[in-house]
Amino acid sequence: MSDPFDTAGRRDAVLAAWGSSATRFREDANAEEDLVLGGYADRLLVELAQNASDAAVRAGQSGKLRLTLENRTLSAANTGAPLDAAGVDSLTSLRASGKRDEQRSTGRFGVGFAATLAVSDQPEIRSTAGGLRFSLADTDKAVRELGGEPARELDRRDGRAPVLRLAWPVDDAPIAGFDTEIRLPLRDDEAVAAVERTLRDFDPSLLLALPGLSTVDVDGRVIERSEVDEQTVALTDNGTTTRWRCVVATGDLPVELLKGRPVEERLRQAWQVTAAIPVGDGPLPLARPQLLYAPTPTDERIGVPIRLIGTFPTSPDRRRVPDTAVTRHLVEQAAEAITDLVSGCSGDPAVLALLPGAELPLSTVDSLLRDELDRQLRAAVWLPDTHGQWLPPARAVAVDAPLVSIAAEVLDGVLPAGWWTSATAPALRSLGVRKLGVAEVVDALAGADGEPSWWHELYDAIDAVLRDDPRTELDSVAALRVPLADGRTVTGARDTLLPSDDLPAGLVGALGLRVVHPEAAHPLLLRLGARDASPASVLADDRVRAAVEHSYDSDDPAPVAEAVLALVAATDLEPGELPWLAELALPDADGDWRPAGELLLPGAPLAWLIGADVPFGTADRQLVEDYGADVLAAVGTLATFAVIDHADLDLTEVDELALDGVSEWADEVVDALGEEPVRLLRFTAVRDLELVRDDAWPQALRLLAAGAARAAISAGCTAELRDGSIVPVQPYLRWWFARRPLLGGHRPADLRLSDAAELVGLYDEVPQLPADDGPPSLFDVDEAVAGVLDDEFLAALGCRTGLLDVLEDPESAVDLLGRLADPARSVHPAVLPLLYARLAEALSGVEVDPPDHVRVAPDAVAAADRVVVLDEPWHPLEGRHPILGGADPETVAELLDVTLASEL
C-alpha cells in the first residue's frame, strides 16, 4: 500500500514521544477529548463545509460539496485543492493549522476535523493526492503494543485514545468528480440519528460565510450560490431562490492592534466583514437573536436580525469572541457594513426592523455592536422624507400617519407614512428622531393659509389620529384654526357653527356669526365645541344675543331684525323662553324703532287693559303679516303680560328686573330671614302689572289666571342661606298682589276664600267680580286665553285660606290682631279661645303696639285695661273680662299689655 504522506514515519514519531513521556500521551488524549466532547461536538457539517470552501479557495475554483448518508456512513466529497503534507500535519497535530499563511481561509486553528469524532471512530480521508484514515481500534492496539505507562493510562481512560494522532494510509480514491472525500462510518444508532437531523436542518445561508462553495448537495437537496451583482447573492434551495443583499468590507488590521495576540494570529492581518439580509420587495429581517459568524457560527448572540459574518478573533473552539482591540476594530467595521446595508434598503420602512431591539445586550460583542451601530446610524444620511430627500435621524421628524401629507407641507424632514409605528418607535426614538404629537402639528400649522378643502383634509387626518389613539386629549387641538364662510379664519372651533340647509340665508353678515366654510365643515369641529347651525343653536350664540342687545343703537336695525325673526320663525320658541329677545329693535306703527318688549301686537288685550298713557308702541302691521303674531310674541312683543322666570338669581340683582316695588320686597325678605340669602333658587314675576288701569283689574285677572302668568303667580320662591340650608320666602308676586285693591276694591290680603270658615267675621269673602265688559276681541288672541278665578288662583294672589295662612308671617298676624280689636267684626266661637295663644306664638320676638281693645266674646270687645288673662282657676274678677292664655298666659298678657289674673 502506497504511503505518500509517510504516515508510518509520523506514527513512529508519535508513538516514540508517547513511549518516552506518558504525560504527552495523556495531554494529547485530554486535548482531543475536550474538542470532541466540548467545542466541536455539534459542528460536524459546518467544519466539513468550511474545509471544502477553503480547498476551493486554495485551488482558485468554484467549490462543490456533496453530503450523503448511506449504509450508516456519512460521505462528504468536495472539489478543490486535494490533501497535502501540510494538511496531514494539521490533521495529526491537533493545534497546528496548515492554513496559517492563507489570509482568507476560514480554518485557522487546525482542530476542526475533531468534529468527526463526535459521530465516528474511524474517519477516513480520500484524496486524489493520497489518503489516510484514523481508527480508535488501531490506535488502541498500537498503544497497548507500546505498553508501559501509556497502556496503563489507556486503561484508566476506558480505551478512549487520541484517535487523530495516528494515521494509516488509504489507497481508495474519492468518488468521481471530486478531489477529496471524507468518509465517516457512524459509531451507533445515536450517531446516525444525529447526522440525519443535522442533514435535514442544514442552513443554506451557511454558504454566505463560505464564499469558496458554489454548490452543496445535501443528500439530494441541492443548494446553489450565485453572484447576482456586487451586493446580491442568490441562494437556491431545491429550486427556491432567496436573494441576499450583502455588504462586504475587507482590509488589513493595523499592526498595533495585534500586540499581545498569539503568534499565528498576528501572521493573519487580513480581515473581512459581511452584513447580509434576505430581500424580496424589501428587506426581510431574520429572527432575533442571531448568532455571530466568525466566519462560521459562534455562540455569541447579537440583537440585530441580520447575518453578520467576519474574521473575528475567537477562542480555540471557535464559540466565543473575546473582547480585544481586534474585536473592537472589527465591530466598527461591522457597524459600518450594517449601516451601509440599512442605507441601501432605506427606501422601505421594513428596514427599521433591522435596527437593534429594545432588549438588553445579549453579549459583550452585542453591546459593543449596539453602541457603535447607534453612533454610525445617527451620523449616516439614510432616512427619507416625504419629498424624496435623505437626512440623518437628528433632522427627521415623525407624525401620526394620517397627518403626514399635511405636516409635510409646512415642516421639513417629515418621515413618510409607515415609518413610525409602535414597533419602530423605540429604535427611531433612540436614534434621535423626534415624534410630534397632534398638538405640536397644530401649532406648526398656526400660520398655514390653505383653501377650506385643505382644512377639511386636516380635520379628517386629526380625527383619524384621535380615533386611533383615545389617549389624545381634545384639549391638545383646541387651538385648531377654522376658516369661516365670510373669509375670516378664527382660532378654535368653540362657538363656531357648522352650516345647515335649515339655516335661513343672509344671516352671517347681519349677525356676525362664525359659520364654518361649507368646504371645511367636519364632524371633528363639533367635538371641539362647534355647534350645528340649526336655527335654535344660532339663537343660542352669544353673538346673536349681542347683535340683538345692540340693535336699537344700530344705524340700521333692519338686517338684524329680519335675521332674528327668520330664525325664530324656524323654531318652536315660546314667548319668554329667551327673555333677551325682547331687546330686539322692531318697527312700530309710526315707523319708529323700539325694543320688541316695548311693543304691543295690534289689538292685543294688554293694550286695552293698560290704556293709552303707557310706554308701549304698537308693532307695525306689515311686520305681523310677514312673520305672524306667534313669532313676534316669541321675541317679546306683547299680547298679554310678559313673564319673568329666573333660576339662581342673586337677591341684589332683582333691582335690574325693573319690577314695581321689588326692592321693598327684597328688604322684607332679608328682614324676615334675619340675613341676606346667598341666592334665590327660583324667582318668578309678571311684568307691567303697575300699568293696569284700576277699573280693568277684573279683565286683567282673567288674563293672569291663564298660561305662563298663572304658573308664575302660583310658583313658590326659595332661598339658600349661608349655612347651605334652603328656606321658603314670600314670593314677590304674592307680596305685590296682596297689597293692592284688585278684587272689587279690596286687597287680596283682606279677603278670604268661601271655604275658610274659621275666618268668617274677621275677613270679607271674595266678592263676585263683574263679567267681562271689555272689547269683544279681548280674549280672541290665542296667547291670551282667559283663565278662571278659582280658589287656587285667588289663594296665589294672597286671599286668605285659613288661620294658618294668616299666622304664616308677622305682618298678617299683626293685621289679625287689629281685626280682633275691631268692634264691627266678629269671631267664630270655636276659634276665639285659641286665637290669642296662637297670635302670641306667631309674634314672639316681634315688636307690636298693643291694641286699645281686646275681643272678649265672639261679638264683643272690651277696653284693654278691663281685661285679664286667666293663669289660675276661675274665681270672681270684680268687673274684669277674662280671656284664655293657653299654655303660656304670660306671653299673651305681654302681647296685649293686660294683667294676669294672679296679679289681682
Residue 800 DSSP code: B
Spans in the chain with pLDDT lower than 50: 39, 96-110, 776-784
The DSSP secondary structure of 857-889, one letter per residue, reads ETTEEEEGGGEEEE-SS----SS-EEEE-TT-H
What distance in Å separates the CA atoms of residue 516 and residue 513, rounded to the nearest whole number? 9
Name residue, grid cell 369661516.
Answer: 484
Q: What angle do CA 178, 184, 187 make, to 5 degrees?
A: 170
| pLDDT at residue number 103 | 43
| pLDDT at residue number 395 | 94
| φ and ψ of 838, to 5 deg | -70, -40
In DSSP terms, 573 is beta-bridged to none
Q: Which three cell numbers stand for residue 694?
A: 284700576
Q: Are 563 and 507 in contact (CB under 8 A)?
A: yes
Within 418-506, residue ranges assigned H as helices are 425-430, 438-444, 452-468
Q: How far is CA 115 from the centre of its chain?
A: 59
What distance in Å separates the CA atoms of residue 182 and residue 172, rounded to the nearest whole number? 11
Q: How many residues are there in the chain?
A: 904
Strand-pair category, 213-218 with 73-78:
unpaired
Q: Which three cell numbers stand for residue 149?
A: 505507562
In DSSP terms, 862 is beta-bridged to 854
The sign of the dihedral angle between the CA atoms of 103, 108, 110, 112 is negative
Residue type, 494: R
Strand-pair category, 489-491 with 481-483:
antiparallel
Strands (E) across 378-534 are located at 383-384, 390-391, 397-398, 434-435, 481-483, 489-491, 497-498, 531-532
Helix axes 7-20, 85-93, angle to 10 degrees: 30
Q: Which three cell numbers stand for residue 698?
A: 277684573
